[in-house]
Amino acid sequence: MEQPGLPRSGVMIAIVGPSGAGKDSLINAARAHYRDDPRIGFVRRVITRPADGATEDHVPVTAGEFERRARTGRFAVRWDAHGLRYGIPVETSDEIAAGRILVANGSRAALDAFEAAYPACAVIEVVARPEIIAARLAGRGRETAVEVERRLTRDIGHWRRGCPHVRIDNSGLIEVARQRFIDAIDAIATGSDKGV
């Protein structure tokens, strides 16, 4: 039986963009904005990185546990980047089938896999000017100058873009990007994303 207020069919919204573009800030703002909206959910990724309170709220696992989950079909989508492994839990497919709109921090390199895993998907790409990204990454203090440069020049190839796509520039005021981000999610949730 359908839940009242939920669309007939759900959507996976993959949030992508380079490290330092501000994806986490926008996702956290949207999570707060939609906290009382049962239609919208936010995916906790499984990552081979310890929980440290400074990064996203994820499910930390060892490389061995990640591989065990991958072998037993526990991920709808998974990918490797920057020496870490990332997974989107398979349960997300059931939530979307039940009509929920899910927001997941994804990867540009994994978008073909997102499109293959979810019948209905959309992409919000968060970008920023290279000098702003470089300053943000340097400010984190987690990477060397060489690692920052590698991130800035990372070639992720091209995806098919078979699902709706919107690009948000987060180079300026965070309030402006935050509103555009929420507007994009609203448009996707109501099925009016063509003009986003």
- Predicted confidence (pLDDT) per residue in 35-53, tens digit: 999 999 999 999 999 987 7
Q: Which two tokens stand for residue 137?
A: 């990454």
**Within a domain: 99:** yes
**Within a domain: 39:** yes
C-alpha 140: how far from chain center: 20
Q: How far apart are CA 33 and CA 13, in angstroms?
A: 16
Give the CATH number, domain containing residue 164: 3.40.50.300
**Within a domain: 193:** no
Axis crossing angle, helix 23-33 with helix 174-189, rounded to the nearest 10: 60
pTM: 0.83
Q: How far apart are CA 18 and CA 37, in angstroms?
A: 28
Structural domain span for residue 128: 11-188
**Within a domain: 3:** no
pLDDT class for 6, splitting at 50, 70, 90?
Answer: very low
Q: Which two tokens stand for residue 150?
A: 């590698």
Strand partners, 163: none
Q: What is the total count of domains within the chain?
A: 1
Three-state DSSP at 11 gives strand
Q: What percentage of the chain carries pLDDT values higher than 70?
A: 80
**Within a domain: 5:** no
**Within a domain: 108:** yes
| Tens digits of residue pLDDT in 129-144 | 888 887 877 765 555 5
**Within a domain: 6:** no
**Within a domain: 82:** yes
